[in-house]
Amino acid sequence: MSDTVWINQRQPQTLYISQFLLYFSAVISIFDQPPTGVFSNFVIRNGLLILIVFGSAGGAFGIANNKRLGYILGIVAAIAPFAIRFELARQIDIGFAIEWNIIGGMFDVALIAALVHPMSRNYQKIWFR
């Protein structure tokens, strides 16, 4: 029997919730892409999508299996939407960047807060390989 899990309930609540949020972010980011005119370059647009989707899913899976690389990948994938919003603000308008998907922005903030919370950081320092 395999020891790999998709969700690890034995971890602190901050890491447990961040696993759900990372999986949720991976699924939602497939459907919720930035406006076409902003990232017109096909390679950049799909590269960011791949980073967020596979980074979020891989990070959640790595966190569930106590892998330090999964934790780092989860943080990078959680910060990536902020890079997209910053680029939107730089290219178009700061108001549009803030208004575009404000509920998704709240989930991004909650995810980053859960991942960098002292309880999560201390747990991953001690138990992650």
Segment 48-71, tens digit of pLDDT: 788 889 999 999 999 999 999 999
**What is the structure's pLDDT at 31?**
82
The pTM score is 0.84
Please give the structure tokens belonging to residue 39: 């990232």
Q: For residue 72, tell me if it sits in a domain.
A: yes
pLDDT at 114 over 90: yes
Q: Give the structural domain span for 58.
A: 13-127
Average pLDDT over residues 7-21: 94
Q: For residue 22, tell me if it sits in a domain.
A: yes
**What is the structure's pLDDT at 28?**
86
DSSP state letter for 1: -
Q: For residue 63, tell me if it sits in a domain.
A: yes
**What is the structure's pLDDT at 33?**
65
**What is the structure's pLDDT at 51?**
82
Q: For residue 2, tell me if it sits in a domain.
A: no
Question: Rounded distance, CA 84 to CA 87, Å?
Answer: 5
Q: For residue 5, tell me if it sits in a domain.
A: no
pLDDT at 38 over 60: no
pLDDT in tens, 20-36: 999 998 998 888 765 55
Q: For residue 111, tell me if it sits in a domain.
A: yes
Q: Per the structure, how many domains does the chain have?
A: 1
Question: Rounded distance, CA 29 to CA 64, Å?
Answer: 21
Q: For residue 122, tell me if it sits in a domain.
A: yes
Q: For residue 36, tell me if it sits in a domain.
A: yes
